[in-house]
Chain A
Amino acid sequence: MPMESVNGSPAAHALDLHKAYGTGQAVVNALDGISVTFEQGRFTAVMGPSGSGKSTLMHCMAGLDRPTSGRSFVGGVDVGSLNDTELTRLRRDRVGFVFQSFNLVPTLTAGENITLPLDLAGTKVDKGWFDHLAGQLGIAGWLTHNPSELSGGQQQRVACARALISRPELVFADEPTGNLDSIASAEILSFLRTSVKDLGQSIVMVTHDPRGAAYADRVVFLADGKVVGEMEQPTADSVLERIRLLAG
């Protein structure tokens, strides 16, 4: 079932986000007044050099970290106004995550890792949806294996299935291909692309790879904690071009 648009509001948006680490002289402004909108049913890539604030932006918008000031919304809900329990529920039910370092629970099998958010919530697994995801990702044969028995690409496909199992409104992917070879990367990115196109899934992906960004509908460029530009329907070349421009 594709994600319907909720009152036509964006999947997520941020208003003047600031995030400072450290105090006094050593203060680092990871986010320096970012306002950005991620639309429903679109695949948005966030790009920028190391230290540009890509990951921090994602953490703050997903409620993993608290911004110093400013507000962020997921589907119209003010993330900053939620207490810990509500944040937990938000992460569990409305947001999915894919990380660079796979981040599977080592003691659980691949299948158990996928259903973990549902098990935590105490809700029943939609068997059809589970099988669909496993089939789409080509991991149906690996479900009883432990993460340590899987390759990096396989682990990341399990992580993708886990992110989508609860049919979240929005998936945050933090450098999902950062630890993968080019073939495995292409598989993951294709899957994400397909889920946006076929299911209307909203995805925000942080990446520094122009080829990865080319899978997205739109690219937002960050530098020094600020939005410095964006691009619709990117290609690897056009993204590379823009990066060169920004760096120059």
Chain B
Amino acid sequence: MWKITLKSLLAHKLRLALTAIAIVLGVTFVSGTYILTDTIHNTFTSLFSTVYRGFDFQVRGVAQFSGPGTAVRNPIPESILPKIRKVPGVEDAAGSVVGYAQFVSHGGKAIANGGAPTIGASLHSKTLSYLHIVEGRAPTTSHGVVMDAGTAKKYHFKVGQQVRVLLFGPPRTFTITGIARFGDTANLAGATMAAFDTTTAQKVLGEVGKFNAIYVKVAPGAGKLAIQRDIARVLPRGVDVVTRQAVVNEAISSINQPLSFLSTTLLIFAFIALFVGAFTILNTFSVVVGQRTRELALLRVVGASRRQVFRSVLVEAAILGLVSSLIGLGLGVLTAMGIEALLRGFGISIPSGSPVLAARTVIMALVLGVGVTILAAISPARRAVRIPPVAAISDSHVVDVSLRRRFTWGASIAIAGAAVLGIGLSNHAVQLVGLGALGVFIGVAMLLPAVASPLSSAIGRPLARTLGVAGRLGRANSMRSPRRTAQTASALMIGLAVVSAFAVIGASISKSVTSVADNAVSADLIVYGKMSSPMSPGFSTTVPRVVAALPGVTATNTIYGHTPMSGQFKFRHSLETLTGVSARHLAGTIRLHMTAGDSRALASGTMLIDATVAKSDHLSVGDTVPVRFALTGRSTVRIGGVYKPNPIVGSYLVSDSYYLPHFQNPLPSGVLLRTSGGSAVEREVQHALAPYPNVQVQNRAQLEHSQLAQIDKLLGLVYALLALAVIIALIGIVNTLVLSVFERTREIGLLRAVGMKRRQVRIMIRAESVILSIFGAVVGIIIGTGLGVALASSLGSAGITDISVPASSMVVFIILSAVLGLLAATWPARRAAKLDVLAAIAAE
């Protein structure tokens, strides 16, 4: 039986290749994702090991509270440094200051590479520093700066040139005294680095008299454990000493969260692709079993048991899955680089390194590839088993299985899926949502044969009318086998369902954003930080003063906090982000829709919270809540009011007079302006802010537009990731068409014999393909729209306040599907048209 399985596989290389592609692509995606994230992880790990070397201990403030990947620590007084130096066994110790500093290019643009940090640092003792000056020297005055080699090369800076640097305070111009590398590399994952002498660094990056950390190197041969204990003994409360390894491990774990987010996101799309691939495999195996009916029956006649036939189909699937998975794994390496390029194209920069192929990746690729293929082949294998031996002799024998059972099952699975989906949505359980959607797709796919004939008939009517007899035959062919039509269309249906679900969500977000700009802000102009790099918690404090002084600006309101790196505080037991605004100009700049209390309560030192928080935490006006700040410690705050969610101010709002004393170096994250004039004042503001290339000025229309553009960009990325699933679905159509052309060789030969032209044969096949595609697209769009509406309406708390179904996009999807169907038919149609009439008729 092995021999038959192998021979059968090899005898149909074409069928094999087409089916394999579906699995190869899915596995490629999965393994590519793993390889990509492993590679990034590996790159960062070696980067951190490179950067954090040369010292044995780090002395630093105790973590006040740790946020997602980053801990909030207070700076430590520099008076600790001499004490540490006196500890016996300590060879060297140096204070280090780290903060925000961003170079401005020759062209006046703020330099940043994707989302990578723009770091400012102090240049301390040569032995302890990870910076190696490769050109020039360290700065000796407060006017000198050392630039990282990557930035110098990319933006053409040389030693001796002037460079503007954006800082917490007003921007300053420095002279480049040297170019440095990070350890051995020129590039630290896209980060830029401006290094100053320690005193200057304290002044422009942090606080005079304070360090962020002290690095300690012990004398060779000294007992490290004892020295660590001795150092700890001289440290004041709130400061501790940790080993180099601990620092490296912390740094590595800080990238794990964003990385696992990336891999989860990509894997979701990979699984969608695999799921669609499973339908393609199922379909191919069904057709193949149908075509091999005679052969399988013959095997039964000469003594093959049902189990042998079943196993033969599954083994065929397993071999196919295995080979495809291995190919997919190989392509995964290439794809990892591809995805990297794709993400970079969408502005998400990730460092590159040599691809990492972990054992987990190989196992997952093989398990998924082989598993999906075998699972998809089970149903066709069961059908193969039901072929009676007589089918070998009597031609007319058709294995028909009751569709009623299939429909009962399909309906049950679809309903159960919808129920699970609903539960998942109301409980925000992503896994349940996924599982439910899976159920709906499988259930609908099982029900699809019921509507296949009437729908194909309706879709094909215009084709039949315009394309003559070829069109009519194409339409008839698509109606001939409802099960096959449905199976072929299923794959495309799922692909388009997901696409349209995202289209609905995207359109709903867009619509919600539009209403945000109208409902959340009443200011005429909005100033905000251009790059939300993790190291820039805001922009210079001089910005609000500059714009407030302009004639024509009647009122300003400076927003503090509300970025991932600033405003962190503990609200009851959870780490949240606080926003501070001026209570005086609140009314003229921000639209707060109060559901309880009064926004004027801000002025009296109370906190306003949004309705979502009030509801989930069961809070109402007058309640007193415990809070904690890194700088000032524990405190309580009274709730003064509740407002409808407002993306401009976030969920926790206080006045600036409350906010400022609680944070180290608080920076503005936005300025809202009321102006007396139109575009003239706007130009005035633009001009005044020219020295600050890290901020952007927009009026309300522009704000709305730029946010829409951002959503479109994200949606574009999602579509690109989903494209693979659609391509797999199309391969399924190609596959089915090729197989049915093969199956209908005689019939096509007959049509040609009685006078059908080659061109008409091509039209016939294409018409069938287009009908199949539109059929899948229409059903997919209907289901996807339902799914999208359900998803979007459950995301109300996440800011989706309006549901919108983009009808024009849906029409485009259908037209696109028809075009893709036409493309899919190209090759099968050519094959059919090429058939030799005599040979075709003679074919058995």
Contact = CB atoms under 8 A, between A and B. Distances in A.
Interface of A: 55, 59, 64-65, 84-85, 88-89, 91-93, 97, 99, 101, 103, 105-108, 112, 116-117, 119-121, 162, 166, 174
A108 B393 contact: no
A166 B295 CA distance: 20
A55 B392 CA distance: 13
Given A59-B393, A105-B299, A120-B305, 14 more contacts: A59-B390, A85-B305, A88-B300, A88-B304, A91-B300, A91-B301, A105-B295, A107-B7, A107-B10, A108-B7, A112-B3, A117-B302, A117-B303, A120-B303
B306 interface: yes
Nearest to A121: B303
Contacts of A91: 300-303, 389
Contacts of A89: 303, 305
Contact of A97 (B1, B7, B295, B302): B302
A126 B389 CA distance: 26
B253 interface: no
Contacts of B842: none
Contact of B392 (A88, A103, A166): A103
B826 interface: no
B4 interface: yes
Shortest beta-carbon contacts, A-B, top 9: A92-B303, A107-B7, A107-B11, A88-B305, A117-B303, A64-B389, A117-B302, A120-B303, A120-B304
Given A85-B305, A92-B303, A119 B1 contact: yes
Interface string B131-175: 000000000000000000000000000000000000000000000
Contacts of A65: 388, 390
B11 A106 contact: yes
30 contacts: A55-B393, A59-B390, A64-B393, A84-B306, A88-B304, A89-B303, A91-B301, A91-B303, A92-B303, A99-B392, A103-B298, A103-B393, A105-B4, A105-B298, A105-B299, A106-B11, A106-B295, A107-B4, A107-B10, A107-B11, A108-B3, A116-B4, A117-B302, A117-B303, A119-B3, A120-B302, A120-B303, A120-B308, A121-B303, A166-B303
Interface string B282-313: 00000000000011001111111110100000
Interface residues of B, number: 24
A92 B302 CA distance: 5
A84 B300 CA distance: 10
Contacts of B7: 107-108
B185 interface: no
B199 interface: no
Contacts of A84: 305-306
Nearest to A104: B298
Contacts of B390: 59, 64-65
B45 interface: no
A153 to B, nearest CB: 17
B612 interface: no
B303 A93 contact: yes
A112 B301 CA distance: 16
Nearest to A112: B3
A63 to B, nearest CB: 8
A107 B3 CA distance: 9
A99 B393 contact: yes
Interface of B: 1, 3-4, 7-8, 10-11, 294-295, 298-306, 308, 388-390, 392-393
A110 to B, nearest CB: 13
Contacts of A105: 4, 295, 298-299
Contacts of A106: 11, 295
A88 B388 CA distance: 11
A22 to B, nearest CB: 12
Contacts of B302: 91-92, 97, 116-117, 120, 162
A174 B301 CA distance: 13
A246 B301 CA distance: 34
A144 B595 CA distance: 87
A162 B295 CA distance: 15
Contacts of A97: 301-302
Contacts of B306: 84-85, 88
A88 B295 contact: no
Contacts of B389: 64, 91
Contacts of B8: 107
A162 B302 CA distance: 9
A73 B299 CA distance: 23
A92 B304 CA distance: 7
A93 to B, nearest CB: 7
A206 to B, nearest CB: 11
B6 to A, nearest CB: 9
A67 B68 CA distance: 74
Nearest to B11: A107
Nearest to B5: A107
Contacts of A116: 4, 299, 302
A62 to B, nearest CB: 9
A80 B298 CA distance: 21
Contacts of B308: 120
Contacts of B4: 105, 107-108, 116
B301 A120 contact: no
A18 to B, nearest CB: 17
A84 B298 CA distance: 15
A174 B394 CA distance: 12
A116 B302 CA distance: 8
Contact of B1 (A59, A101, A120, A166): A120
A121 B303 CA distance: 7
A195 B302 CA distance: 20
A31 to B, nearest CB: 14
Contacts of A120: 1, 299, 302-305, 308
A86 B303 CA distance: 10
B289 to A, nearest CB: 15
A119 B303 CA distance: 10
A55 B393 CA distance: 10
Contacts of B303: 88-89, 91-93, 117, 120-121, 166
A103 B296 CA distance: 11
Contacts of A59: 390, 393
A55 B397 CA distance: 15
B7 to A, nearest CB: 4
Contacts of B393: 55, 59, 64, 99, 101, 103, 174
A171 to B, nearest CB: 12
Nearest to A59: B390
Contacts of B11: 106-107
Nearest to A90: B303
A207 to B, nearest CB: 15
A116 B7 CA distance: 13
A69 B298 CA distance: 25
A85 B304 CA distance: 9
B761 to A, nearest CB: 25
Nearest to A97: B301
A219 to B, nearest CB: 22
Nearest to B304: A120
B294 to A, nearest CB: 8
Contacts of A88: 300, 303-306
A81 to B, nearest CB: 18
B397 to A, nearest CB: 10
Contacts of B3: 108, 112, 119
Contacts of A55: 393
Contacts of B294: 103
B820 to A, nearest CB: 34
Nearest to B385: A84
A36 B294 CA distance: 30
B170 to A, nearest CB: 81
A144 to B, nearest CB: 13
